[in-house]
Amino acid sequence: MAKKSNLLHERIIYKPFEYPEAYDYWLKQQQAHWLHTEVPMMSDLNDWNSNLNESEKNIIGSILKGFAQTENIDALAAALAKAQSEMGSVHKDAANPYFRSAYSSLANVWETVKPSLTKNGLSIVQLPSSDERGYFVQTQLMHSSGQWIRSSTYMKPAKEDPQGIGSLISYARRYALMAMVMACPDDDDGEAAMGRNSNAPQKPVESPKPAVKVEPAKPVEKPATEAPKAKETASKFNGENHQALFQELMKLGYTPEEFIGACHYAKDERIPAKAKDFFKMSDNTASLFLFDGMDAIKKNIIAYKAIAE
């Protein structure tokens, strides 16, 4: 009677395999990635250390971190295609008071796509982090087979404070999730991450007044030299970003003149050397300052005022 085999008993003969399915699984795992012993990397390492500057290294590193996947994604692709066919529309459930528009919140997007993903063995992991390039959210779509794809979404907050960074992470998570599973609602709500004032004053809507019969009055003649007054607010700002930058300066207690003086002191090329009037700045230039954040502006103004005094 032949002795029953056991994984714990030593076998003298290695082949033929007694458990070929285990060997096939091991072989697939080996083929799923490269080992450093399989690819000669010495010339690449020498090139990396000797011929690339820090900027070029950052670019290559960002590209490599930007998108990655397992060698095979056939099972994941089939499951994702089925999940997408079952997903409903992502409805807009939140409001942006700055633009008076509606958009889809992160919670609403997740509740819309989660049932179809879970049903087809798919899951999502999103990890916020930062590196020399800035803040980013890494989104990984995984399948029950072990296959996965991953991407990184980089963004820069207008303010380096917990509220600004938290808003950026939420904004990046929502867009990265929708991009990963191809959920595509239309929205335009990136105000908190851009540092714009969501409490900007809005013109109240006047209720209609009942018609009142008014007797015609005699026309009053005005001197020929008198011209109608123009609305100051209509020409004071050159756009929403220009006005938002002015409001941020007011919150910090700085004048437009101090801002222009600080830009000249810091030799900021975005402001021409002969420029003196803040209100002649273009809206596009103002958006660049908002994108960089107010911390750098505050630092330059403090240094400028210290020298001026």
Does 209 map to a domain?
no
Give 155-176 pLDDT, tens digit per residue: 888 778 888 888 888 888 988 9
Both 182 and 98 in one domain: the answer is yes
Report the 10 Å Cβ neighbour count for 213.
4
Question: Residue 173 is encoded by which pair of tokens?
Answer: 């998570």
- Is the domain of 184 the same as that of 263? no
Please tell me what DSSP assigns to residue 304: H
* 209-254 pLDDT tens trace: 555 555 555 555 555 444 444 344 445 778 888 888 888 888 888 8
Residue 75 CA to residue 143 CA, distance in Å, equals 8
Domain boundary among 165, 194, 223: 194
109 and 185 co-located in one domain: yes
Residue-number span of the structural domain to which 270 is assigned: 237-308
Q: Which long-range contacts (CB under 8 A, 24 or more apart) does 118-123 make?
A: 119/83, 119/86, 120/79, 120/80, 120/82, 120/83, 120/86, 121/79, 121/145, 122/76, 122/79, 122/80, 122/83
The tally of domains found in the chain comes to 2
**Domain assignment of residue 266, yes or no:** yes
Shared domain check, 188 and 273:
no
* Separation between Cα atoms, residue 149 and residue 72, nearest integer Å: 10
Number of residues written out for the chain: 309
Q: pTM here?
A: 0.44
166 and 241 together in one domain: no
Confirm whether 273 is domain-assigned.
yes
CB 86 within 8 A of CB 117: no
Domain assignment present for 175: yes
**Confidence band, pLDDT 50/70/90 cuts, at residue 100:** low
Q: Has residue 19 been placed in a domain?
A: no
